[in-house]
Amino acid sequence: MDKVNLGEKLSLIEDFWSPKAVGAVNDFHVKLVKLKGEFVWHAHEVEDELFLVLKGRLRMQFRDQEVAVGPGSSSSFRTRPSTDPSRTTRCTSSCWSLARR
């Protein structure tokens, strides 16, 4: 059994929008990421994703709706929707996504 100290791992991450793998569950990578500002519209062709917000607020924009997620809450979405994860304040999040083979 692996133990991961999230605070310790987050302190090692300096770049925004650059997820770092900290573990794996079945076929999923567990990543930590720091988010700030805006990102580009994009779609994932082969994986679903789940964002669990640890600190701050994440605003996920989809073509037909917007979802705001705060600390202790999560947002998940299926393969292929166009998303724009936007931020107005700094956010730290755990991201779960299917491991590419």
DSSP state of 76: E
pLDDT over 90 at 8, yes or no: yes
Separation between Cα atoms, residue 38 and residue 85, nearest integer Å: 7
Read off the tokens for 22: 């900290």
> Can you tell me the mean pLDDT for 60-72?
84
* End-to-end Cα distance, the chain: 23
Query: For the purposes of burial, counting CB atoms within 10 Å of the CB of 43, is it exposed (0-12), middle (13-18) or buried (19 or more)?
Result: exposed
pLDDT digits (tens, 9 = 90+) for 15-64: 998 989 998 888 888 899 998 888 877 777 777 788 889 888 888 877 78
pLDDT over 80 at 74, yes or no: yes
Q: What is residue 101's predicted lDDT score, i.e. its pLDDT? A: 47
Predicted TM-score (pTM) of the model is: 0.79
